[in-house]
Amino acid sequence: MLRDRLREAGLGARVSVDSAGTGAWHLGDPADRRALDVLQRHGYDGSAHRARQFRAEWFASTDLVLAMDRDHLAHLHALAPDAAARASIQLFRAYDVDALTGGDLDVPDPYFDDHASFERVLSMVESAAAGIVGTLRNELTVAEAEGGEPGRG
């Protein structure tokens, strides 16, 4: 979904997006059928998604790591090899102005809930994605004006 938003904003060739979890659950499996249904209903194609586990060595080639909740954030901080890697980790909803105002930055896991929960989570993710796209566009514009590229990798 974020990849689609970045492509729509003309940033698809400049920003690489990947997905991985913090645990080894469902490794290699496709996304939950309910998630795929909700994504498809909203015009996204999640059919190629396969569950993977984030690896500490990925920090070396990653500028921004987005955690869906505080537990994931803590797990990623524990994996981070240094302060620069820890600084690259942010909560996904930290880019959603409404979430910042409301104070709850966790994206709830809808896995054990009903179909409507998947709809609510997609809405949260779409709101935050708009902020992420805006932030990345601004950072790339500033870096371009300064004659360089932002980030480490």
User: Taking Cα atoms as reference points, which of 99, 112, 26 lies closest to residue 68?
Assistant: 99
> Are 117 and 130 in contact, with CB atoms under 8 Å apart?
no
> Are 105 and 91 in contact, with CB atoms under 8 Å apart?
yes
Residue 96, classified by CB atoms within 10 Å of its CB into exposed (0-12), middle (13-18) or buried (19+), is buried
Tokens of 29: 């499996």
How far is C-alpha 42 from the geometric centre of its chain's CA atoms? 18
Is 109 considered catalytic here? yes
Sequence-distant (6+) residues with CB within 8 A of 51 are 21, 25, 26, 27, 28, 29, 30, 31
Catalytic residue selected from 29, 71, 98, 109: 109
SS3 86: helix
- Could you list the active site residues? 109
